[in-house]
Amino acid sequence: MTDSATGLEASWQPDVLGADYDQMVIPLGEDPDGEGEVVATLVRHTAGLPSAPTGIVLYVHGMSDYFFHRHVAEHFSAQGYAFYALDLRKCGRSRLEGHTPHYVSSLSLYDADLDSAMRVIRAAHGPLPVVIVAHSTGGLVIPLWLNRRRKRLGAAGTEGFRGMVLNSPFFDLPAPAAVRAAGTAMAEAIGSFWGKQPMRREVVDDYGASLHVSREGDWDYNLDWKPLTGFPVRFGWLRAIRRGHLALHRGLDLDVPALILRSKLSNLTADQIGHPLEVADLVLDVRQIQRWSGSIGDHTTIVPILNARHDVFLSAQEPREKAFRAIDRWLANLDD
């Protein structure tokens, strides 16, 4: 069945998360990167859906990730929001046979995923204010998407977006300046011709092991969709990321308030190693997040969370609850 308001296949089906969740597969057509048909998958939380929601939350995941965070959906539903999450093309629920996991040659390709999801949401809820919650790479994708919408549509491009909550956003490569420069040059040179060539890397599972119930963690999720070691980084993907970083570092002109959540500590470099794995960001350098957060726009609030992991929402109970309290206060202040 096609939804007359969106022109999209509007068939909600049961989701893998269980009875309280539905999913809609959104067809996006032929992949510009030559891997056949691509789709995005919109998930909604149904059990806690308010009869008259005060707003909408759309959650967007990061690299080597997908939406499985039931507790996040339940929190926002309890606050009166209609909760949705999006698995982007080639990620999680949306990865089809023949797809290179998470591969895009340009972050702008995600515009179709996000615009389509918003059309479905708007058809269901009208002009209710939307809060975007995004993690890691999603925290880079979302500001760039909104910035392109604003350039394309003017003020209407960001109208109705109440705010962004960016959870450990991927604002820069976590490496010394010389390594970042060399990596960028290599990504440009190789990524232009052999974009899907994986970069050589040391395979480690410290972060994944700290999360998953099969190791030292508390969280159960699909290891085919979120491997303990993550998916390989490919040159073309890194090229797209570095171009996104450059655009953000030049400064965006968004009129959408942003709340930046990050761990207080990282455990990456020689001057940082020694912090226990479960209370630090093992993926990104929090100093870079702090440095570039002001590049989004004029309305940015940064909240470091003591003892938080890279995904703040997958931290232990105390830092996780602190993050939720910070979000609730921030949203209440936006109302004021």
| Rounded-to-5 percentages of helix, strand, coil across the chain | 35, 20, 40
> Is there a contact between 305 and 202 (Cβ–Cβ < 8 Å)?
no
User: How confident is the model at residue 200, as a pLDDT?
Assistant: 83
Mean pLDDT of 242-251: 97
- The chain-wide mean pLDDT, for the chain, equals 92
The whole-angstrom separation of Cα 170 and Cα 141 is 9
User: How confident is the model at residue 298, as a pLDDT?
Assistant: 87
The whole-angstrom separation of Cα 122 and Cα 147 is 20
User: How confident is the model at residue 211, as a pLDDT?
Assistant: 94
> Is there a contact between 19 and 38 (Cβ–Cβ < 8 Å)?
no
The whole-angstrom separation of Cα 179 and Cα 187 is 12
Q: What percent of the chain has pLDDT over 90?
A: 84
The count of C-alpha atoms lying within 13 angstroms of the C-alpha of 285, restricted to the half-sphere facing its C-beta, is 17
Q: Is the pLDDT of residue 5 over 50?
A: no
Strands 300-305 and 258-263: parallel
User: How confident is the model at residue 276, as a pLDDT?
Assistant: 62
pLDDT digits (tens, 9 = 90+) for 290-328: 999 999 988 999 999 999 999 999 999 999 999 999 999
At residue 336 the predicted structure's pLDDT band, cuts being 50, 70 and 90, is low
Mean pLDDT of 255-273: 82
Amino acid identity of residue 179, one-letter, is V
At residue 203 the predicted structure's pLDDT band, cuts being 50, 70 and 90, is confident
pLDDT digits (tens, 9 = 90+) for 149-200: 999 999 899 999 999 999 999 999 999 999 999 999 999 999 999 999 999 8
Q: Is the pLDDT of residue 202 over 90?
A: no
Residue among 254, 261, 252, 251 at smallest CA distance from 302:
261
Q: Is 199 exposed, middle or buried (0-12, 13-18, 19+ CB in 10 A)?
A: middle
Q: Is the pLDDT of residue 244 over 70?
A: yes
User: How confident is the model at residue 277, as a pLDDT?
Assistant: 61
Q: Is the pLDDT of residue 13 over 80?
A: yes
Between 2 and 307, the more confident residue is: 307
pLDDT digits (tens, 9 = 90+) for 59-85: 999 999 999 999 999 999 999 999 999
> Is there a contact between 9 and 19 (Cβ–Cβ < 8 Å)?
no
C-beta neighbour count of 327 within 10 angstroms: 25
CA distances (Å), origin 327, targets 274, 276, 302: 29, 26, 11
**Tokens standing for residue 120:** 């479905």
User: How confident is the model at residue 205, as a pLDDT?
Assistant: 85
User: How confident is the model at residue 64, as a pLDDT?
Assistant: 97
Q: What percent of the chain has pLDDT over 70?
A: 93
User: How confident is the model at residue 1, as a pLDDT?
Assistant: 37
The whole-angstrom separation of Cα 70 and Cα 15 is 12
User: How confident is the model at residue 9, as a pLDDT?
Assistant: 44
The count of C-alpha atoms lying within 13 angstroms of the C-alpha of 314, restricted to the half-sphere facing its C-beta, is 29
